[in-house]
Amino acid sequence: MVRKKKKISEKKLGKSSNGKDMHYSVGAIIKKGDKYLLIDRAIPPYGLACPAGHVDEGEEKEEALIREIKEETGLKIESLKLVAEEELDWNWCSKGITVHYWYVFDCRVNGVIRKNGESKSINWYSKEEIMELKLEPSWEYWLKKLKVI
């Protein structure tokens, strides 16, 4: 049997408002009761973050969100609502890009949580607990902007 090599996806690349190369990112705020799902990132930028990732070339933001949530948490999205979008010109990633255009969604999910190699841990945290954690910088920004913390 011949195995196909998994194609390495190219990240969707655009130009920022100041002409820099820019990636597009999606993220999910997932709440259960009074707790929020956060991942302790095993790859840079480090810190606790909501499940998130890059939009791949040729992919719609909603498709990227569904894929990233499944990859990072094992969960399936039941419903999603765009709650914020914005260009962050200070948000770097391990691919060397320093500008990201973010789409942040409020999501309802189902399934059983399972972590992957991109995370050290994945857990539910209250607002009070989140305020004491070392958050990944973009998620500290989003959680404050959206008045989660």
DSSP per-residue letters across 50-102: -SEEEPBTT--HHHHHHHHHHHHH--EEEEEEEEEEEEETT---TTS---EEE
Q: Model's pTM, two decimal places? A: 0.91
pLDDT by residue, tens only, the chain of 149 residues: 444 444 445 888 899 999 999 999 999 999 999 999 999 998 888 999 999 999 999 999 999 999 999 999 999 999 999 999 999 999 999 888 999 999 999 999 999 999 888 889 999 999 999 999 999 999 999 999 999 99
